[in-house]
A and B are shown apart, each in its own frame.
Chain A
Amino acid sequence: MNDYKLVHDLFQELENRYYLIFNDQRRLPDDELAWDGIAINEPELQGKISDLLNVARNATFETADARWTEQLKTIGENVRTAVEEYDYEKLKSGTNRLYRILNRYPSRINAQLVTAAGSLRLDSLAEAMNTINNNLSEIDVTLDNMTEEIHNGATALSSLDEQLNALVKEHNAWQEVDDEIRRVKASLNRNIEELENSWFDLEPMTRDLVNGQQAEWAVSLAQVTDKLDEALAEKGFVTVRRTFLRYQSQVGRRFRQVDLDLLTLCQELQRIGESLDLVLRQFHK
């Protein structure tokens, strides 16, 4: 789980670095001064790529789709060369390919993370604890506190299991929304047709996620969703684009938070699960 969390965080940071470079790149080739900003951010980008590649060597990702690591390595080299040679076309090619990596692989890593979370089998742990409790009763070991504790533990584990499932479900839902948003954003420079088409799916997906929620993020996201809906009805390109970017930003923030919550929970549960697993083995012996 640690590896998944690390990769997740690194991809997030890599995406931030990408946008810093991309914003300067857009001023090229007319504004040669843009190269100064790019030169400042490029080493940071290389650092994140290097960190990612290091983590990717861990056993966790052995069986996973590792094409992205080769691609990322090549992209890093191309971007470095482009910056050294002030080659605009090469830089554009490199960042375009990096954008593809960011569009595709974080989503897949997250899917793997969710799968890993599912493999924690908390329900099984809870059932195992009940088994332990029952076994203790049969051997007539008077361990009053212990059985109560074990019972409470099992109950807590069930609750955590529900919590985890809920988080996993929410995470998957946000992942879907994020996938749609990434696709739409690429077309938004041309026109709003893709957004208009996707809104048919995006809007209900978003409403499902915010409805019944009182938290500030939900209220804020509900409002911007309303505004985007209105803007699309009026078809003003500039208004739609601006509102969409705010919508995207809020979705991204919430998605990252859910991501973080899930990762944190998974890490803790993993530790609990490992400990309990050890105890159970002892019992079986």
Chain B
Amino acid sequence: MSDQNLDANMDVTDETVIPFMSFVSFRDTHQELQKKRRKETKGQESDQFWEEVLVFLERGEAAGAFLDSDEDRDAAQSLLDYWQNQLFHANRDAPDALLADFDPMLQPEIPDSRCPYIGLHAFDASNEHLFYGRDQLINQFLNQILVSRMVTAVGSSGSGKSSVVLAGVIPRLKNGELPGSALWHYYPTMVPGSVPLTNLALALMPEGADKSEWINQQTALFQENPEYLTQLIESQTDEPAILVIDQFEEAFTLCHDEAERDAFLENLLNLIRTRETRHVVILTMRVDYESYLNKTPLFQSLYEQGLVRVTAMSGAELREAIENPADAVGLKFEDGLVDALIREIVGEPAALPLLQFTLLQLWDDRERNRVTWEAYRRLGGVTQALANTADNLYLNLLPEEQVTVKRILLRLVRPSAGLEFTRARIPRKMLYETGEAQDRVDRVLDRLIEARLVQSTAGVTRDDDQIEVAHEALVRNWPRLVEWLEDERVTLRHRLRLSRLAEDWDARDRDESMLLRGAMLQEAAQYQDLSPLEKEFMDASEQLAHKEELAKEAARQRELTQARQLAAEQQKAARRLRWLSIALLVIMAIVIFSVIGIVQQSNRAKTASDEIAKGLIVIATSNAAKVTEEALNAQLSSEGTAQAAESEVNIATATAAAATAQAIAAERSRVNSDATSTAVHATSTAVQMEAQSTATAIAQTPAATSGSILSAGPTATPNPEELKSIADINAILRPEDNMRMLFISGGTFDMGSDARNAETDERPSHAVTVPDFYIDQFEVSVQQYADFLNQLDGNRGACDGFDCAKSQVDTIFSNLLNNYGFYEARPGAESYPINWISWYGASVYCQSMGMRLPTEAEWEYAARGLDGRSYPWGESKPAENNAVFGYTERIQWAREFDDAFLPVNALPDGRSPFGVYGMAGGVSEWVEDWYDPNYYKNLPRDAAANEERVTETRVVRGGNWTSPAEDLLTYRRDSLPPIIKNPEEFLYIGTGFRCADDAD
């Protein structure tokens, strides 16, 4: 019985006072009294009227027990005061009507079935009557539909974009809010998932169709014919069709089949472009996946035209969202509680799920028809409600069930961009694969579902039920889960890295150089839930690893064979040398004895002189033989080289020549015969020449394929392909950071330049001999450096007392993120070369790997090879296909920083003769040396680093992305202070590095 009916039937003499049950009825009765008074003559109102006023006052007083808000009570009391005054002015008794105290026990109960809140679920058509607070946005959306055939609701996770469309826009369209929209054809909402064409087909499936047959047919037709979607829809309806695609980003993030995705997008595009009927596609998409649309320019253009951003709700909108559903069921909030809820979340775009969750919990904890402050405080407010509820559930589980909860939840999330995690949707049966008892998994899952933390969507069978966390808000706002995810982050990160590497490999025509090797391959082999692309990637990696192993073995065999051949040839050469030496000795003996004979013939009387000459000849002969023997031994020893042998033979030859000359001189003192002298001299010269040619022949014996110094002379220059091959075959993988290191065969090259464009500090060109060494094939990447800093557990002062690097905390021109001490690559920048590195940051990194920085000579040799080229790739000028350079204007940096970098393994056209990437442009590279502008003037011949601190700077090589083309020359030198003091100077905007190591 309503209050109005009560008034009509009221007996004023009845002792039972029936109070007004709400302020609304209170006020309505007051207004009725006013109307009645207007009909009476003012100042002469009837007794009956004033009796009704007295009844009103009585009922009003009693109504106080039902009025809990201050506003209602103030308004109600003012009505009582007013009518008391009117009684007074009419000279009638005016009782002092004071509102009764509020009595919570008198409030009506509201049944659970009338719950006005939905928790973490998104709104849809089934609960649109509870959806408030978005009128302005919905109007904006509807206006956009009038002008765009594709309209996208974009917002962050938790902003309510799906709800706006499903519970706001669609119902209003169906209600005819736009001209003719009540008659449009509305398809069920679809979510792309990993198989968008399948899900599209399901959305369009007519009743009664055989599901699997329909799906097979339609997906094939979608693939074959990009117009098929339009044709299908137009065969089903004559009206404009509305197709809603929720979570549109899944077409890019979950669907790995490019052909399927392309077919999906093309069919949508053609539907949107149809001229005959104005079909409309409505999308919802997370804002952090907008960049995916860059891959489809046509889609991007449509997207921008029909974009509706779903932003945070204002305070007034939040109040509507909270109070209007409550009013509809008679639920009240204690004074100030709605304001407190609003204050907690206003301006937070992603807090709506938390608000709904909190409201639902408050509803569960209500006292009759009221939500109390006590309940709110117990819950911990909006920001803590979810965490507290989840914690309460977790702590009330048995220990083994707690383990199960953890395992289940970790299967239900996956890492995405940056530090984010997003939810994954998996069938129930996959949760049984953890190895735990199925009944325990089910039991725990049911508890999670009951607590509304996890939701289950029915599948064909129970095992096929799709399980997911109710909302990503749980992933971000439950500290316990966040902590579990942090602990698992490395594993999950590597797992994600595998996905990305597979995608990159696929995108780059499955380039072999991008396959996994070594420790990374071993780790990845442990993952079980691989996507088809990841499986192919792993298979190809394993095949390549096997192939490389076989190739290494073959190379080893070849080396062994070559070594044996070399040994055989050397032995032959040694034998030849020995015979030549013997021949030489014989010839020398013949000459000497001839001379002696001549002398004896000419002057047999000079016995003393003969004796002296004989003695000198014997000495010379034995010296020559001894030296020759030593030379042979040196050639056959493990440390011997052809050059050493040559020099030794030279010495032997010279000694023999000297001995001969001495003998001749001695004899000439006795025999003054020019002809004899000439003949002897000519003979000894011939002997010298013969010895020399023998030495040269030995020197020309081919070197072994490992451990041989190459000469830059015209007689010993391997071609770049050979150098590359040698470097590649002997490459190793550094397990600490999975860096590939190429083997650089030692050699002698011309360092510096005398060319016209050479700077003063690059002159003169001088020969430098570099022993074998290893060098990183790629520059150290952002992700590798981030991992290093995380292991180092710091950055500030962590590299020998100096800062290692600068991150985005210090400068926007860094790809390194610092999230409260955890270092991470900017999403998408993981494989870019690291920049803003101090020399100490580079040096300590290499040392931590058991390596070092390359010396300047090693660096230039690795960049230049043996043919003295100007750029690592040759003589052609730097261009887009071989180097990143030329962003010389600062105004470009801000605009183009994000695009200026490329992965470390990009630009194969820019490789050096040894196959090293990125030695020109990109980032400049620290080397070990202190910079000395006059260093080359000393003509240093070896590859050791300059340890002399002539300046306060260290050398950097290679130029960087901000350099002009001429700074990319292989011999171009530059230097910087080793410590980054002031990021605003931008000096280190392009400093990076790679590591090196001795060959042994």
A interface majority secondary structure: helix
Residues of B within 8 A of A111 (CB): 88-89
Q: Does A63 count as interface, using CB distance less than 8 angstroms?
A: no
Q: Is the CB of A92 within 8 A of B85?
A: no
Contact of B77 among A100, A197, A198 (CB under 8 A): A100
Please give me the residue from chain A that is nearest to B43 by CB atom: A172
User: Which residues from chain B contact A246 at a C-beta distance below 8 Å?
Assistant: none
State in angstroms the CA–CA spacing of A107 and B85 once bound together. Answer: 7
Residues of A within 8 A of B79 (CB): 183, 186
- The B interface, classified by DSSP as helix, strand, loop or mixed, is helix
| Least Cβ–Cβ distance between B78 and chain A, in angstroms | 3
Question: Could you tell me the distance between the alpha carbons of A190 and B76 in the complex, rounded to whole angstroms?
Answer: 11
A103 with B89: CB separation less than 8 A: no
Judge whether B81 and A182 touch: CB under 8 Å: yes
Task: Kindly state whether residue A239 has any CB partner on chain B within 8 Å.
Answer: no
Point out the residue from A108, A175, A182, A200 that lies within 8 Å of B82, measured CB to CB: A182
Let me know if B396 is at the binding interface, CB within 8 A: no
Contact B86–A186 (Cβ < 8 Å): no
Contact of B85 among A108, A189, A193, A198 (CB under 8 A): A108
Contact bitstring B72-95, A, C-beta under 8 A = 1, else 0 = 111101110110111011000000
Residue contact A179 to B86, C-beta cutoff 8 Å:
yes
In whole angstroms, what is the CA distance A245 to B27 when docked?
22
**Measured between C-beta atoms, what is the minimum distance from A204 to chain B in Å?**
11
A contact residues around B890 at 8 Å (CB) = none
B295 at the interface (CB under 8 A from A): no
How far is it, in angstroms, between the C-alpha of A67 and the C-alpha of B82 when the chains are bound? 17
Is the CB of A194 closer than 8 A to any CB of chain B? yes
Q: Which residues of chain A are near B85, meaning CB under 8 Å?
A: 103-104, 107-108, 179
- A197 near B31 with CB under 8 A, answer yes
Which A residues touch B548, using CB under 8 A? none
* Distance between Cα atoms of A23 and B837 in the complex (Å): 59
Residues of chain B lying within 8 A (CB to CB) of residue A179? 82, 85-86
Q: Within the complex, which residue of A103, A180, A194 is in contact with B75, where a contact is CB–CB below 8 Å?
A: A194
The answer to whether the Cβ of A96 comes within 8 Å of any Cβ in the partner chain is: yes
Docked-complex contact A190 and B78, CB < 8 angstroms: no
A103 touches B78 (CB 8 A): yes
A187 within 8 A of B: yes
User: What is the distance, in angstroms, from B374's C-beta to the closest C-beta of chain A?
Assistant: 15
Q: Which residue of A has the minimal Cβ distance to B79?
A: A183
Decide: A189 and B88 in contact? CB cutoff 8 A: no
Does B70 count as interface, using CB distance less than 8 angstroms? yes
B359 to chain A, nearest CB (A): 22
Smallest distance from the beta carbon of B135 to chain A beta carbons, Å? Answer: 16
B412 to chain A, nearest CB (A): 40
User: Counting CB contacts under 8 A, is B34 at the interface?
Assistant: yes
Q: Is the CB of B81 within 8 A of A103?
A: yes
Contact between B34 and A201 (Cβ–Cβ < 8 Å)? yes
Given contacts A108-B88, A179-B85, contact A193 B78 (CB under 8 A): no
Min CB distance A39 to B, Å, is 23
Tell me which of A67, A107, A108, A186 contacts B78 (CB under 8 A): A186
User: Is B71 part of the contact surface with A, judged by Cβ < 8 Å?
Assistant: yes
B71 touches which of A92, A104, A189, A197 (Cβ 8 Å): A189
Q: Give the bracket for the number of chain A residues in contact with chain B.
A: 20 to 34
Interface string of B42-62 (1 = CB under 8 A from A): 000000000000000000000
**Whole-angstrom distance from the CB of B526 to the nearest CB of chain A?**
55
Asked if B96 CB lies within 8 Å of chain A CBs, one says yes
Residue from the set B27, B71, B72, B81 with the largest chain A CB neighbour count within 10 Å: B81
Cβ contact within 8 Å between B75 and A186: yes
Which residue of chain B has its CB nearest to the CB of A176? B89
Residues of A within 8 A of B38 (CB): 200-201
State the CA gap A175–B82 with chains docked (Å): 12
User: Closest CB of chain A to B91's CB: distance in Å?
Assistant: 9
Other-chain contact of B70, A92, A107, A175 (Cβ < 8 Å): A92
Is A187 within 8 A of B81, CB to CB?
no
Question: Is A183 a contact partner of B78 (Cβ separation < 8 A)?
Answer: yes
In the bound complex, what is the Cα–Cα distance between A98 and B74 (angstroms)?
Answer: 12
Shortest distance between the CB of A198 and any CB in chain B (Å):
8
B255 to chain A, nearest CB (A): 50
- Given A96-B74, A190-B71, A104 and B31 touching (CB < 8 A)? no
Which residues of chain B are near A200, meaning CB under 8 Å?
38
Contact between A182 and B71 (Cβ–Cβ < 8 Å)?
A: no
Residues of A within 8 A of B82 (CB): 103, 179-180, 182-183
CA distance A50 to B71 in the complex (A): 30
Q: How far is the CA of A190 from the CA of B323 in the complex (A)?
A: 13
With A and B bound together, what is the CA distance between A277 and B88 in angstroms?
32
B78 touches A187 (CB 8 A): yes
Known: A92-B70, A186-B75. A197 touches B34 (CB 8 A): yes
In the assembled complex, the CB of A125 is this many whole angstroms from the nearest CB of chain B, namely 26
Instruction: Report B820 CB to chain A, min CB distance, Å.
Output: 30
Contact flags (1/0) for B235-250 with A, using CB distance below 8 Å? 0000000000000000
Contacts of A201 in B (CB 8 A): 34, 38
Which B residues are CB-close (under 8 A) to A175?
89
Decide: B27 and A194 in contact? CB cutoff 8 A: yes
B:479-518 near A, CB below 8 Å: none
**Chain B residues, CB < 8 A from A96:** 73-74, 77
How far in angstroms is the closest Cβ of chain A from B44?
15
User: Please, which residue of chain A has its CB at the minimum distance from the CB of B37?
Assistant: A201
Across-interface contacts of A193 in B (CB, < 8 A): 27
Q: In the complex, what's the smallest C-beta–C-beta distance from A7 to chain B, in angstroms?
A: 16
Interchain CA distance A214-B610 in the complex, whole Å: 160
Closest to B86 in A: A179
CA distance A104 to B81 in the complex (A): 6
CB closest chain-B residue, reference A110: B89
Chain A interfacial positions (CB closer than 8 Å to B): 65, 67, 92, 96, 99-100, 103-104, 107-108, 111, 175, 179-180, 182-183, 185-187, 189-190, 193-194, 197-198, 200-201
Given contacts A182-B78, A183-B79, 12 further A-B contacts (CB under 8 A): A92-B70, A103-B82, A103-B85, A175-B89, A180-B82, A183-B81, A183-B82, A185-B78, A186-B75, A189-B75, A190-B72, A198-B34
List B residues at the A interface (Cβ < 8 Å).
Answer: 27, 31, 34, 38, 70-75, 77-79, 81-82, 84-86, 88-89, 96, 98
A-B contact pairs, 5 of them (CB 8 A): A103-B78, A182-B82, A183-B79, A186-B79, A201-B38
For the complex of A and B, 9 pairs with smallest distance between CB atoms: A186-B78, A183-B82, A187-B75, A103-B81, A186-B75, A183-B78, A186-B74, A104-B81, A107-B85
